[in-house]
Amino acid sequence: MPKLKTRKSAAKRVHKTAKGKIKRQRAYHSHILTKKTRAHKRMLRKKIVVEGPEEKRLKRMLPYLEK
């Protein structure tokens, strides 16, 4: 069977947890931060576990994810 290619753009943005789940950064934390409340910005700092169809799509993009 041929080797599969990893989508490098996805590999740079996600990490694998110890149990094999995929974690990613939340969106909307890169610009226009003056309008957002302090609590909202604090919430955006935290990583989130990917679930459902998004996880399936990422696992297809990253066949050899080992982080």
CATH number of the CATH domain containing 19: 4.10.410.60
**Is 66 a member of any domain?**
no
Phi-psi sector, 44: left (phi>0), alpha (psi -120 to 50), beta = alpha
Our measurement of the distance from residue 3's CA atom to the centroid of its chain's CA atoms, rounded to an integer in Å, reads 24
For the cut 70, the answer to whether the pLDDT of residue 19 exceeds it is yes
**Is 38 a member of any domain?**
yes
**Is 67 a member of any domain?**
no
For the cut 60, the answer to whether the pLDDT of residue 67 exceeds it is no
Mean pLDDT across the chain: 93
pTM for the structure as a whole: 0.77
